[in-house]
Amino acid sequence: MEISGAFKNAGKNLKRTGKQIRKNYAAYLFLLPKLILFTLFIAIPVVWAFVLSFQEYRITESNIFAGLDNYKQVLESEAFREALLNTTIYTVVTVPFNVITALIAASLIHSLGRFAQNFFRAAFYLPTVTSMVIIAMVWRWMYNYEFGLFNYVIGWFGMEPINWLGQTNSALMAIIIMQMLIPFGVGIILYLASMSSISESLYEAATIDGANAFQKWVRITIPMLTPSTVYLTLLSTIGSFQVFTQIILMTGGGPGYATETLVHLIYKTGFRDFEFGLAAAQSVVLFLIILVISVFQYRVLNRRN
């Protein structure tokens, strides 16, 4: 009795769902083009990447099950360890610096008049709309040993010229300095937008209590901007772990492994050596690293409130 009742119910539900689907066929048609593209070029490749990472897959031989061999090889290789270390150093230095300077810049801009706000916002966002290819090319020129702008500028302070990109001990530093000096345009714009939505009454109350501008900034502005800070930190950490364009155009990962990064290594493994299985395993590891860091950051940064 019970079983047949359950069947009857299930049948009814199914029928109702079927009716709903037929009634809303237009909605599915609207979704169809995007869903097809999404399935073909995102969903299938993502699943396939995981499958590939367990296979030995090269140009000539393919589909050989390899178990965890690829992962073992990834974790044991010196190149991967160097790439992971470099990418981590790069991220740990540049992300906090860029988020904090964006916060300071936005706070300064916010206190200005409308025209000045627009001007500085544009000045800081312009490098972000310019392709990283262009930025990397001009920085390579500015880091030039003989005629570069950088060595000229440090000459003012009595320093000897440095072969920025050509030496093991300065190449990664050069890439990091470059990232620090490119303003975090997205951050500045998002901070500015969030700042204008902080209620004026909070500041008025603080003024009555005798708080000065700096106290208000620390006690009101920064806490109220926490959601933006969390978002921007996540966003730029994820972006930072994917650093590639500067590397291939400025150093090629060298000298040695001095500026090797995770994505550049994936590129080399996959499309210079055509070790598809290995490259897939490297990219899965990259994904897992980014996932773990994102969850961790989200938890830590959100704990305060």
Partner 1 sequence: MKKRFSIQKTITYLLLSVAAVISLLPLYWVFSTSLQLKSYQDEDLERPTSYVNANPPKMFPVGITEYFEHWGKARDAEKIGDSEQEAYHRQVMDNIVTDMFSGFRQLFQQNSMGLWFFNSLYIGIVVTLGILLFDSMAGYVLAKKRFPGRNFIFWLIISTMMIPSQVTLVPMFIMVRDLGLMDTHWALILPDLSMVFGVFLMRQFMFSIPDELIEAAKIDGASEWKTFWKIVLPLARPGLAALGIFTFMNVWNSFLWPIIVLNNAKLYTLPVGLKTLQDANLADFKLLMSGAAIAAIPMIIVFLLFQRHFVKGLTLGGVKE
Binding to partner 1 (CB under 8 A) within 169-228 occurs at: 181-183, 186, 189-190, 193, 213, 227-228
Number of residues that bind partner 1 (CB under 8 A): 93
> Which lies closer to partner 1 via its Cβ, residue 127 or residue 255?
127
Q: What is the spatial distance between Cα 224 and Cα 213, in angstroms, rounded to a whole number?
A: 15
Binding to partner 1 (CB under 8 A) within 87-126 occurs at: 105, 108-109, 111-112, 116, 118, 120-126
Q: Which of 85, 202, 211, 238 binds partner 1 (CB under 8 A)?
A: 238
296 binds partner 1 (CB under 8 A): no
**55 has which bridge partners?**
65
> Which lies closer to partner 1 via its Cβ, residue 44 or residue 100?
44
Binding mask 254-293 for partner 1 (x = CB under 8 A): ---------x--xx--xx----x--xx--xx-xx--xx--
Alpha-helical runs (H) found in the chain: 2-23, 25-38, 44-52, 69-76, 78-110, 114-129, 132-142, 149-156, 168-181, 185-195, 200-208, 213-216, 222-224, 226-241, 245-250, 262-271, 276-303
Q: What is the spatial distance between Cα 198 and Cα 225, in angstroms, rounded to a whole number?
A: 9
Q: Which of 3, 147, 303, 304 binds partner 1 (CB under 8 A)?
A: 147
17 binds partner 1 (CB under 8 A): yes
240 binds partner 1 (CB under 8 A): no
At closest approach, how far in Å is the CB of 244 from partner 1?
6
Q: What is the spatial distance between Cα 268 and Cα 206, in angstroms, rounded to a whole number?
A: 56
- Give the other-Cβ count within 10 Å of 41's Cβ: 10
Is 157 in a helix, a strand, or coil? coil
35 binds partner 1 (CB under 8 A): yes
